[in-house]
């Protein structure tokens, strides 16, 4: 008789539980008696065994969503591209947050106890790795790398040391995410760079970002908020999970039964400081609306945990104007009030949104007024700086004009003074 397959689920390098795949292909997860904190809000610390649906939602959420990426990973490691357990057994050594999935008998190595082990990449090597990303997702197989990142877009996790891009060994956590341009769409690197920098100027918490180039390849370099240097030679992982994982949601888009804004705000009632975190979420909801980010779904919000299992809302990420691309939907991922379409959202819809999520409409109104007044100025200033670099592009002027148009329309609806 076949035995169940098992992986050790570890948090910050310490065994926390066991993920099994049963003989019929189903997943189940059970905490060890020694576990002190939960791995997810959807998997509370308990002596019971969690079944397939919740396991697929949380553990499947650690993997890339792209079919191409899953197939390439499966081909490389002899895994099943449609099997979460099989894929995690192949690349689960370093996942988002502080989670790792390794064979049961793997020696225990707590985070911070390993000396930094990295290899610096030349520009030509990095350029080749970026070009090869469609065939080798996550820089798969390069120097034995076996790590996972969620999401659809092609990307890789790297280390940055002395301002140079490096690749780690399996024992060294990565510190940055590298996102090359999306070939189907114009200037996505500049788009996300400007939107992230503008959010930061408005006081919205976002990771530090930079635009770089390796040979012919432009890319966005994003500092990971789920990593920190313990000292110059040790990196520790900070646990995080996205809102879909935390809410046990299998779909990320509200119209397909994924979480809506009310569920997201309700989740933050359990935060260490709910009032501050809920106000931060209002800020990014307004910001995403103004810049025309239709893809602000529940996997693009996250929780960040301390070692006791308490959480705060994480810095925001994957922020860019999708509205400017004609081939992309202009329907928002989460509706405001009763509307998914940007141009149909009324002040009454904003009031209804506040009512449902038990938020202060006067606070939201002040945020709308502040952002709609200042964002066009901030974007123009950032664009002027970018135009003095090798990364200048005519696209950014179009982006600024689109956001100015959005701000004017919003100010008219709210009847703000000119």
Residue 123: per-residue pLDDT: 93
| pLDDT band per the 50, 70, 90 thresholds, residue 235 | confident
Angstrom distance (rounded) from CA 261 to CA 267 = 10
Sign of CA dihedral 8, 160, 204, 220: negative
CATH of segment(s) 118-230: 3.30.200
Which parts of 132-219 fold into alpha helices (H)?
188-201
Helix axes 361-386, 347-357, angle to 10 degrees: 110
46 close to 33: Cβ distance less than 8 angstroms? no
Using a pLDDT cut of 70, give the percent of the chain over it: 94
| pLDDT tens-digit series, residues 349-374 | 999 999 999 999 999 999 999 999 99
Give SS3 for 49. strand
Angstrom distance (rounded) from CA 133 to CA 139 = 6
| pLDDT band per the 50, 70, 90 thresholds, residue 1 | very low
Per-chain mean pLDDT for the chain: 92
Answer whether 118-230 and 251-414 agree in fold: no
Residue 138: per-residue pLDDT: 66
Relative to beta strand 164-168, strand 311-313 is: unpaired
Residue 271: per-residue pLDDT: 98
Angstrom distance (rounded) from CA 403 to CA 381 = 14
**Per-domain residue ranges for the chain?**
5-102, 118-230, 251-414
| pLDDT tens-digit series, residues 62-82 | 998 888 888 888 888 888 989
Determine which one of 295, 306, 318, 327 is catalytic: 295
**Catalytic residue flag (residue 295):** yes
CB atoms within 10 A of CB 148: 25
| pLDDT tens-digit series, residues 31-40 | 999 999 999 9
pLDDT above 80 (res 90) = yes
Q: Which CATH architecture has domain 251-414?
A: Orthogonal Bundle (1.10)
Q: Tell me the two tokens of residue 290.
A: 């103004």
* Residues ≥6 apart with Cβ < 8 Å to 238: 97, 98, 225, 226, 227, 228, 304, 305
pLDDT above 70 (res 114) = no
The model carries a pTM of: 0.94
If you average pLDDT over residues 363-392, what whole number do you get? Answer: 97
pLDDT above 90 (res 200) = yes
Q: Tell me the two tokens of residue 316.
A: 């925001």
Chain centroid to CA 173: 17
In Å, what is the CA distance from 341 to each residue of 259, 261, 282, 389, 410?
A: 17, 15, 18, 35, 13
Residue 157: per-residue pLDDT: 87
């Amino acid at each position: 008789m076949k035995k169940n397959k098992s992986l050790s689920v570890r948090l910050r390098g310490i065994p926390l539980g066991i993920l099994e795949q049963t003989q019929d292909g189903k997943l189940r997860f059970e905490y060890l008696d020694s576990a002190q904190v939960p791995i997810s809000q959807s998997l509370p610390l308990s002596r019971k065994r969690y079944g397939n649906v919740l396991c697929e939602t949380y553990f499947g959420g650690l993997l890339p969503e792209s079919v191409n990426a899953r197939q390439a990973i499966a081909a490389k490691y002899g895994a099943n591209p449609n099997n979460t357990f099989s894929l995690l057994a192949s690349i689960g050594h370093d996942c988002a947050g502080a989670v790792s999935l390794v064979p049961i008998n793997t020696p225990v190595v707590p985070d911070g106890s390993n000396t930094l082990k990295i290899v610096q990449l030349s520009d030509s090597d990095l350029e080749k790795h970026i070009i090869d990303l469609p065939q080798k997702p996550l820089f798969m197989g390069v120097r034995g790398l076996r790590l996972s990142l969620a999401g659809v877009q092609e990307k890789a996790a790297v280390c940055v040391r002395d301002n140079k891009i490096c690749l780690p060994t399996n024992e060294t956590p990565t510190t940055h995410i590298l996102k090359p341009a999306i070939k189907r769409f114009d200037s996505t690197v500049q788009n996300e760079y400007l939107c992230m920098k503008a959010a930061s100027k408005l006081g919205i918490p976002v990771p530090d970002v930079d635009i770089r180039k390796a040979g012919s390849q432009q890319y966005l370099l994003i500092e990971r908020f789920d990593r920190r240097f313990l000292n110059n030679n040790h990196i520790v992982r900070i646990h995080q999970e996205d809102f879909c994982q935390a809410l046990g949601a299998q779909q990320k888009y509200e119209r397909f039964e994924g979480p809506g804004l009310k569920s997201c705000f309700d989740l933050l009632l359990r935060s260490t400081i709910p009032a501050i975190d809920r106000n931060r979420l209002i800020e990014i909801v307004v910001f995403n609306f103004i810049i025309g980010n239709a893809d602000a779904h529940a996997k693009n919000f996250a929780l960040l945990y301390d070692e006791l299992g308490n959480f705060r809302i994480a810095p925001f990420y994957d922020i860019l104007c999708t509205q400017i691309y004609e081939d992309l939907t202009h329907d928002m991922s989460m509706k405001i009030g009763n509307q998914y379409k940007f141009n149909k959202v009324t002040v009454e819809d904003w009031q209804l949104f506040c009512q449902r999520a038990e938020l202060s409409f006067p606070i939201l109104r002040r945020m709308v007024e502040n952002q709609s007044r200042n964002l066009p100025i901030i974007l123009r200033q950032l664009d002027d700086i970018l135009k003095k670099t090798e990364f200048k592009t005519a696209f950014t002027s179009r982006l600024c004009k689109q956001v100015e148009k959005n701000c004017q329309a919003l100010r008219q609806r709210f009847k703000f003074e000119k």
